[in-house]
């Protein structure tokens, strides 16, 4: 069969995906599809398109096969949703996933002959391209370097476990070595049940931005210690108790659950919050951290709904740094709504907020509340945090923010 027809057939199959469309929406996948499109159309740009794909794979330090396998494992699909909620797989979903995986496997195999197709399709390329070009194309990505660090000592249970680099490699090998990817539906279901989906398969630190979860960097600028050793233990104890009561842990079956939100107030409180979460995550390897930037405070309810709906078995800390909310602003009302309704905060999440400004938590009495907000006139946000720490000094909730700083 002619190269243009082979490329056209693959593009047709790729456009007909039913479940795994997101796999081919990434920039690297678009580079691959661009090469196929150039081959199908007989475009002289096929060499340039292949060069762009080659460069993209080198920059990502991966192979086309590993990219596809990682994208399949990380995809948020109806299959991963069924695994997250413990639902059985319907016959229609099984058939659709099997069909998509067979297509993706054909695209995977096509990469091994793609350079040859390009050389045959471009007039004179087969005879005039230098031998090192073919050598580079045939060796592309085979020696990709694993630079990630890992800790395989992950707690077991019914909650989602962070995916370590070695575990990712094992799952890739398990799927990639199968003669038929379409026969791996149950394996993928097991993977999503164990490791979740989406950004949670790419690391333990995530960011909420633009209405979606994205893989984020580890928390930087974490101090080795904070000012009050006694209160340091109180913070870690509070976070640890919560981590031990997360869904999937032995203590989660108890009738009573510990508080699920903490306010750290005072100078450089954001550093204190970072320190406490970093220490707690080092001790409890099943925990994730979702950071919410200031611009996204007003979408906190949307984040909570997203976690409840798509990731109900993921245990995470939600970190809000440097609260600086104008009285009865959109973000202020949103935070008040989440803290006021116990069912709003996902059962598997613990919210940690930090602030150095008292006014953003307790507006002046003469500030008129926004109509129809349901907020009390005082709008005392601080009283809604079940655990409060002031510069390393814990204090009871009923009295609100203390007058004395620690």
Tokens in use for 336? 């008040």
312 closest CA partner among 74, 73, 85: 85
Looking at residue 218, its pLDDT comes to 75
Q: Is 360 helix (H, G, I), strand (E, B) or coil?
A: coil
180 Cβ partners below 8 Å, 6+ apart? 102, 105
Question: Is 202 in contact with 215 (CB distance < 8 Å)?
Answer: yes
What phi and psi, each to the nearest 5 degrees, are found at residue 206? -130, 165
Burial class (CB in 10 A: 0-12, 13-18, 19+), 177: exposed
Tens digit of pLDDT at every position of the chain (406 positions)? 688 999 999 999 999 999 999 999 999 999 999 999 999 999 888 899 999 999 999 888 889 999 999 999 999 999 999 999 889 999 999 999 999 999 999 999 998 888 888 888 888 877 888 887 777 776 664 544 443 434 333 334 478 899 999 999 999 999 999 999 999 999 999 999 999 999 999 999 999 999 899 988 777 655 565 555 445 566 666 676 666 665 555 554 444 555 678 888 777 777 778 878 888 888 888 889 999 988 899 999 999 999 988 898 898 999 998 777 776 778 888 888 888 876 788 888 888 888 776 555 554 444 444 444 444 444 467 777 877 777 544 433 333 333 333 2
* Helix-helix angle 229-244:269-283, to 10 degrees: 50
Q: For the chain, give every domain's residue range.
A: 3-142+154-202, 214-395
What phi and psi, each to the nearest 5 degrees, are found at residue 375? -85, 145
Q: What is the DSSP letter of 383?
A: G
318 strand-pairing partners? 290, 351
Tokens in use for 147? 């630079």
Options 3.40.50.720, 2.40.50.100, 3.20.20.70, 3.40.50.300; CATH of 214-395: 3.40.50.300
Looking at residue 8, its pLDDT comes to 95
Tokens in use for 264? 């750290």
Looking at residue 400, its pLDDT comes to 36
Tokens in use for 98? 């099997």
Question: Is 329 in contact with 369 (CB distance < 8 Å)?
Answer: no
Neighbours of 50 (CB within 10 A): 25
Tokens in use for 174? 């398990």
Distance CA 132, CA 328 (A): 66
Q: What is the DSSP letter of 389?
A: E
Distance CA 122, CA 124 (A): 6
């Amino acid at each position: 069969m002619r190269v243009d027809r082979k490329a056209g057939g693959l593009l047709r199959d790729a456009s007909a995906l039913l479940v795994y469309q997101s796999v081919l929406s990434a920039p690297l996948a678009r580079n691959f599809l661009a090469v196929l499109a150039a081959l199908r159309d007989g475009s002289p740009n096929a060499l340039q398109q292949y060069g762009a794909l080659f460069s993209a794979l080198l920059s990502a330090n991966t192979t086309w096969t590993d990219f596809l396998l990682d994208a399949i494992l990380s995809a948020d699909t109806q299959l991963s949703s069924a695994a997250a909620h413990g639902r059985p797989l319907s016959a229609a979903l099984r058939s659709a996933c099997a069909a998509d995986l067979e297509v993706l496997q054909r695209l995977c195999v096509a990469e091994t002959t793609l350079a040859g197709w390009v050389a045959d399709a471009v007039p004179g390329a087969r005879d005039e391209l230098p031998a090192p070009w073919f050598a580079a194309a045939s060796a592309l990505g085979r020696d990709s370097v694993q630079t990630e660090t890992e800790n395989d000592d992950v707690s077991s249970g019914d909650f989602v476990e962070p995916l370590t680099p070695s575990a990712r490699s094992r799952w890739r090998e398990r799927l990639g070595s199968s003669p038929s990817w379409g026969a791996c539906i149950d394996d993928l279901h097991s993977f999503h049940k164990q490791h979740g989906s989406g950004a949670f398969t790419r690391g333990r630190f995530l960011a909420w931005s633009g209405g979606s979860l994205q893989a984020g960097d580890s928390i930087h600028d974490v101090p080795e210690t904070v000012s009050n050793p006694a209160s340091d233990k109180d913070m870690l104890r509070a976070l640890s108790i919560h981590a031990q009561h997360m869904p999937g842990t032995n203590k989660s079956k108890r009738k009573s659950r510990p508080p699920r939100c903490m306010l750290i107030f005072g100078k450089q409180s954001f550093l204190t919050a970072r320190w406490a979460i970093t220490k707690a995550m080092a001790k409890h390897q099943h925990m994730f951290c979702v950071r919410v930037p200031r611009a996204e405070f007003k979408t906190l309810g949307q984040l909570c709904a997203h976690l409840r709906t798509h990731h109900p078995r993921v245990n995470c800390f939600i970190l809000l740094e440097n609260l600086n909310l104008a009285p009865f602003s959109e973000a202020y009302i949103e935070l008040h709504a989440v803290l006021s309704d116990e069912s709003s905060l996902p059962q598997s999440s613990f919210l940690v907020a930090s602030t150095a400004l008292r006014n953003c938590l307790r507006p002046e009495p003469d500030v008129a509340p926004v109509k129809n907000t349901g907020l009390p006139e005082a709008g005392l946000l601080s009283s809604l945090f079940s655990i409060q720490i002031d510069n390393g000094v814990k204090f009871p909730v009923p009295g609100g923010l203390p007058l004395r700083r620690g």
